[in-house]
Chain A
Amino acid sequence: MAGAAPVRLVIKTDIVEDVDDVAALAVAHVLADRGRATLETVGVGTPSR
């Protein structure tokens, strides 16, 4: 979809011991590199233990 405005992303993660949240953020950054998205903020929602 050429010319489409980048999607403004807010991503809430549960990052702690697995890697898939990191992969999700990496996907967001790559799509931002391609002009498809902007990453506004990231949240870490996993509570302290």
Chain B
Amino acid sequence: MVGAKYGRQVPVGARLPLTDQDHARELCERFPVEEPPPDQPLCTARPLAAAPSGLVVLVSLGSFHDLAALLDSPADRWSPLAGADLVRHRVRETVVDGRADPVRPRVQPGARRPGGRSRPTGACGRGVGRSSCDPVPVHVAVLGESEHDGYSEPGKVDVDTTGRSTWHQVPGGRHRLVLRWTADDAVAAAINALLAQLPRASQLDR
């Protein structure tokens, strides 16, 4: 639906099985597609298998169940690599909404982090001046270090069995925190400006 608004056909995977009350099923019925959505690990594995090595940036919003499923997925007809090897070879970075706030951990117990460098977006959240934080990891994933954000020294995020994450600065570590340089309102304004931009497809129609 969002892709159609912007004039793109983007493959969408869902977490199967869908039930009668499932939101994804409802979306499919209200906005018909030719085929039901494939299982999400498969839907992710396909473009990873087709991508050049080390170029994909994986953004995870919410729980890590689906990433864990991808890591546990076996090789298939789309890729001779199993999920963990596929991530290791194709993913350059993983940006997650990890948060520094231990009161509201987003990491699910038992979940595993994928390979590649992880940059938990500890600086995002309601404090950015908007009640919506999910755009921030995408903003960081694409724009990287900017006037708004930078990266911490290398370190490591540990996740305990309750899902609580803690950050440790470790020389040579593969994780980094996102640090905020500007005021939260400035980040919110930058994201609002993007959201206010008309899709290029609609501009071409004029």
- A interface vs B, CB < 8 Å? 5, 7-33, 36-37, 39-49
- Is the interface on chain B under 10, 10 to 19, 20 to 34, or 35 or more residues? 35 or more
| Known interface pairs A43-B12, A48-B17; A11-B138 also in contact (CB < 8 Å) | yes
Whether the pair A43, B194 counts as a contact (CB closer than 8 A) is: no
Residues in B neighbouring A29, C-beta threshold 8 A:
2-3, 5-6, 8, 199
Chain A residues contacting B84 (CB-CB under 8 Å) are none
Which B residues between 1 and 24 are near A, CB-CB below 8 angstroms?
A: 2-3, 5-6, 8, 10-15, 17-19, 21-24
Kindly list the 9 A-B residue pairs having the minimum CB-CB distance in the complex, ordered from nearest: A14-B62, A20-B132, A45-B66, A29-B6, A20-B134, A24-B134, A33-B200, A40-B47, A48-B19
Would you call A9 and B134 a contact (CB within 8 A)? no
Asked whether B132 lies within 8 Å of A16 as measured between CB atoms, the reply is no
Report A20 CB to chain B, min CB distance, Å: 3
**In the complex, B40 has a CB within 8 A of chain A:** yes
7 contacts between A and B (CB under 8 A): A9-B59, A11-B138, A25-B3, A28-B142, A39-B3, A43-B13, A47-B15
Point out the residues of chain B lying under 8 angstroms from A15, CB to CB: 23
Residues of B within 8 A of A44 (CB): 12-15, 24, 37, 40
